[in-house]
Amino acid sequence: MRMASTFRYGVIAAAVLTVGGCRQGDGPVPTPSVEREQELVDVAHDLQNVALGRDPQAAADLADDLRKYTDGKPKAEPAVDELSRRTVQTLAGVSLPGPAAQQLAHHYYMAMMAREMSDRQVETLQNDTQSLLMSIGVAEPTAQQVAQQVGAVQTLVTDRQRRWYELF
């Protein structure tokens, strides 16, 4: 009797450890090159111009600059255009300080350039984007829409294949 219950607990412990060890591993996160850092400065300026609303070309500049990052992923272009559109609507009239603009540009870069992010990393990126937007005065539902689009873009650019054990 005691042997059967010990065996049962052993099987349960092994099952828990096996399932617990099947968590999706984090993927590599790209580090922008010096050239890309300069491009991100341009994206940050575009974001600030959109927020200020003084430059009628700002929305088109932002869309063009973000579209550069879809190289090799033409399926992602409409999603990136939608991200640009939502961003323009969201930032109109909002005060966007330089560091916040730079951080938002970096979040967008990550969404478009990371090719093997885990679901957890994508969720963190979305949450960070939403929190950043809310910290500059954007309403939560609006910030959430932009963050959701960040996730949609990442879904279209990812090269990561789900492994069999990640389906559970």
What is the residue-level pLDDT of the chain in tens, covering all 168 positions? 555 666 565 556 555 545 444 445 676 677 888 898 999 999 999 999 999 998 999 999 999 999 998 878 899 999 999 999 999 999 999 999 999 999 999 999 999 999 889 999 999 999 999 999 999 999 999 999 999 999 999 999 988 766 555 555
Looking at residue 105, the DSSP 8-state letter turns out to be H
- Tokens 């969720």 sit at which residue? 123
Look at residue 158 and give its three-state secondary structure: coil
Instruction: Look at the pTM and tell me if it is higher than 0.85.
Output: no
Residue among 69, 60, 55 at smallest CA distance from 87: 60
Segment 4-48, tens digit of pLDDT: 666 565 556 555 545 444 445 676 677 888 898 999 999 999 999
**CB contact set of 105 (below 8 Å; sequence gap of 6+):** 40, 41, 43, 44, 47
pLDDT at 21: 46
Q: Around 25, how many Cα atoms within 13 Å sit in the side-chain half-sphere?
A: 6
